[in-house]
Amino acid sequence: MKINPSSLRFHPYILLFVSILSVSVSSIMIKSSDTPTSVAGMYRLYISVILMLPFVPWKTLRTSEMNKKDWSTVFLAGLFLGLHFLCWMESLVYTSVASSMVILSIQPLFVMVGSYFMFRERTSILTVLCLLAALLGSIIIAWGDIGVSREALIGDGLSLSGTILVSAYMLAGQKASRKIDANVYSIIVFFIGGSVMLAYSLLNNIPLIGYDSSDWTYFFLLAVIPTIFGQYIFNLLLKSIGATTVSVGIIGEPVLAIILAYLLLGETISIFQFIGGLVTLLGMGMYFWLRSLDHTNEVHA
């Protein structure tokens, strides 16, 4: 389980694609289950912690340069992750997979702004335009819910809240990754995030037991596919390619989710979702094209 991104044989973008594909499955699974979202999220993260625990290099903590401020950052990251899952998973109760996922995809804009103020990372005008194109696609898809129902707008609002929270989680992770092993970081934030949802469930008298075997299979699959093969890989990549690039890659998640929702759940694809999805993909493609040009120029400089 312990992986050093800089020594991987696979290109980081290949790992990014694998993680995006894995996370895309989560919305379909959540939409197909009637299990309380806080309970599903709690067991999703706790089971991930149990599966990862034997492989975590705790000895690295002895040589780490973590101080109280750094540990506070890790704690906040776990808090943001738990609140993100609560908002986003609950949004799927009110709105479609497509709208929730596409609104979530605007997080690169929040991360880009945060990266500038936290890490002084500068972004070219062309790159900003690419991200704005992705944002335009998100707005087009969300616009399809306006006038449909009050519930859809509530779902979109929850999804937007989840987007802000996951952006903060990504930025905190990039900051923490400079001093703590990504494997140790992941297991700590997963545990804290799960505890946030445990507290929410207890405060709202949501039952934690009494679920059947199919529900436990669902919890296990959520832990393995979108969490370990999804969120965990995101955490690994934060140090090597940065939070902004990871966030931009996640823009492809809604497109995969829309296709999966159409094939597996029978959800229709509206004209807003179709056009918005194309615009989002265009913005993402332009971003990575510009990134490849920047990398080529750096190599030949």
- Please spell the DSSP secondary structure of 200-240, one letter per residue: HHHHTT---S---HHHHHHHHHHIIIIIIIIIHHHHHHHHH
Query: Is the Cβ–Cβ distance between 279 and 45 less than 8 Å?
Result: no
Q: How many CB atoms lie within 10 A of CB 225?
A: 18
- Average pLDDT of the chain to the nearest whole number: 82
What angle, rounded to 10 degrees, do the helices at 97-104 and 125-143 form? 160
Domains of the chain by residue range: 13-55+66-300
Q: Which of 37-46, 58-67, 290-299 has the lowest mean pLDDT?
A: 290-299
Query: Is the Cβ–Cβ distance between 269 and 98 less than 8 Å?
Result: yes
pLDDT in the model for residue 1: 46
**Does the structure show a pLDDT above 50 at 198?**
yes
Give the three-class secondary structure for 36. coil
Query: Is the Cβ–Cβ distance between 270 and 97 less than 8 Å?
Result: no
**Does the structure show a pLDDT above 50 at 228?**
yes
What is the pLDDT confidence band of residue 297, given thresholds at 50, 70 and 90?
Answer: low
**Average pLDDT in the 37-41 region?**
91
pLDDT in the model for residue 58: 74
- Dump the DSSP string for 40-60: HHHHHHHHHHHHHGGG--TTH
pLDDT in the model for residue 144: 63
pLDDT in the model for residue 37: 87
The pLDDT tens digits for 240-273 are 788 888 888 887 777 777 777 788 778 788 888 8
Residue type, 171: L
Assigned token pair, 171: 């930025």
pLDDT in the model for residue 47: 98
pLDDT in the model for residue 42: 95
pLDDT in the model for residue 289: 80
Q: Where are the alpha helices (DSSP H) in the chain?
A: 12-31, 37-52, 60-63, 68-94, 97-104, 107-119, 125-143, 150-176, 182-203, 213-222, 232-249, 252-260, 271-300
Q: Which of 71-75, 127-131, 199-203 has the lowest mean pLDDT?
A: 127-131
**Average pLDDT in the 211-226 region?**
94
**Does the structure show a pLDDT above 90 at 165?**
yes
**Does the structure show a pLDDT above 90 at 91?**
no
**Average pLDDT in the 21-35 region?**
81
pLDDT in the model for residue 110: 86
Assigned token pair, 35: 């299990």
Sign of CA dihedral 212, 215, 217, 223: negative
Distance CA 197, CA 32 (A): 20
Q: What are phi and psi of 276, to 5 degrees?
A: -60, -40
pLDDT in the model for residue 137: 78
pLDDT in the model for residue 9: 54
What DSSP designation does 263 have? I
**Does the structure show a pLDDT above 60 at 6?**
no
Distance CA 259, CA 301 (A): 41
pTM, two decimals, is: 0.83
* CA-based nearest residue to 82, from 238, 198, 209, 184: 198
Q: What are phi and psi of 58, to 5 degrees?
A: -60, -25
Assigned token pair, 102: 């596409």
Distance CA 231, CA 25 (A): 12
Angle at 281 between CA 174 and CA 293, to 5 degrees: 65
**Does the structure show a pLDDT above 60 at 147?**
no
What DSSP designation does 259 have? H
pLDDT in the model for residue 28: 77
**Does the structure show a pLDDT above 50 at 39?**
yes
The pLDDT tens digits for 101-136 are 667 777 888 888 888 888 777 777 877 888 788 778
**Does the structure show a pLDDT above 80 at 172?**
yes
More confident call, 89 vs 229: 229
pLDDT in the model for residue 278: 86
